């Protein structure tokens, strides 16, 4: 069972915490990470791109010139796709890009992402993360104390308005609740800063 240091908001070591091996020490499956990340990105797509075919463009009802005798190629409409201002062949039309992978696959991918972060020592666990009021400089100070490089993902055990408001103005920092954590967020951030309650919440849901 992997063990990690437990820190306070001053960056001081206050103990150790054991991470569940089924979540933080499983085999990293890159193919699952790719599939789930693609699903999450596809599900964000609006799919509203649309082009007009030759039948949807106004005009072009009259034959430009007679069929024979002009020396030019025969033409039936000025809205032909080979003409400037004509229709589009096989252009995009509104469509739904969504697809859903099985629940077991999504869970396995999430555990793979967390295990990869744990193996690369990119997870920091705090005994608590609480602010009396929203203050951006408090989160900035915390990141500085923890020597965080790059983008950071703050994972709390439950909704915390003060932490969310304090971190949202810092570029590269995002705050999520443990039960809303997803593969894309983990892969898009360099460091995971989790509270002890967030780890317990993850283990309660995914370790069973």
Render pLDDT for 114-123 as a digit per residue (tens, 0 to 9): 999 999 999 9
Q: What pLDDT is stored for residue 198 in this prediction?
A: 92
Q: Where do the H-state alpha helices sit in the chain?
A: 21-24, 30-44, 103-119, 136-145, 161-167, 183-188, 196-206
Q: What does the pLDDT average to over 110-114? A: 94
Whether the per-residue pLDDT at 208 is higher than 70: the answer is no
Render pLDDT for 14-68 as a digit per residue (tens, 0 to 9): 888 988 888 998 999 999 999 999 999 999 999 999 999 999 999 989 999 999 9
Render pLDDT for 135-176 as a digit per residue (tens, 0 to 9): 999 999 999 999 998 999 999 988 989 999 999 999 999 999
Task: Name the more confident of 206 and 127.
Answer: 127
Burial 42-52 (b: 16+ CB within 10 A, else e): eeeeeeeeeee
- From residue 128, how far is each of 56, 67, 156, 185, 196 by CA, in Å? 60, 82, 9, 21, 7
Contact 158, 167 (CB under 8 A): no
Within 8 A by CB and 6+ apart from 66, the residues are none
Whether the per-residue pLDDT at 79 is higher than 80: the answer is yes
Task: Name the more confident of 88 and 208.
Answer: 88
Q: Report the chain's mean pLDDT, rounded to a whole number.
A: 92
Render pLDDT for 171-205 as a digit per residue (tens, 0 to 9): 999 999 999 999 999 999 999 999 999 999 988 88
Domains delineated in the chain? 3-45+99-206 (3.40.1370.10), 47-96 (no CATH)
pTM for this prediction: 0.84
């Amino acid at each position: 069972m992997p063990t990690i240091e437990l820190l306070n908001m001053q960056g001081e070591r206050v103990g150790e915490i054991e991470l569940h091996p089924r979540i933080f020490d499983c085999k990293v499956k890159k193919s699952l990470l790719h599939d789930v990340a693609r699903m999450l990105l596809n599900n964000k797509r609006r799919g509203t791109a649309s082009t007009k075919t030759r039948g949807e463009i106004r005009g072009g009802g009259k034959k430009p010139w007679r069929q024979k005798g002009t020396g030019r190629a025969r033409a039936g409409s000025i809205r032909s796709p080979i003409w400037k201002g004509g229709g589009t062949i096989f252009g995009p039309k509104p469509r739904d890009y969504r697809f859903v992978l099985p629940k077991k696959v999504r869970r396995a991918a999430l555990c793979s992402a967390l295990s990869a972060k744990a193996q690369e020592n990119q997870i920091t666990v705090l005994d608590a993360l609480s602010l009396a009021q929203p203050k951006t400089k408090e989160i900035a100070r915390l990141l500085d104390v923890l020597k965080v490089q790059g983008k950071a993902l703050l994972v709390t055990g439950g909704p915390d308005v003060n932490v969310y408001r304090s971190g949202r103005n810092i570029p590269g920092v995002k705050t999520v609740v443990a039960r809303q954590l997803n593969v894309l967020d983990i892969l898009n951030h360099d460091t995971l800063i989790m509270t002890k309650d967030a780890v317990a919440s993850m283990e309660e849901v995914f370790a069973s």
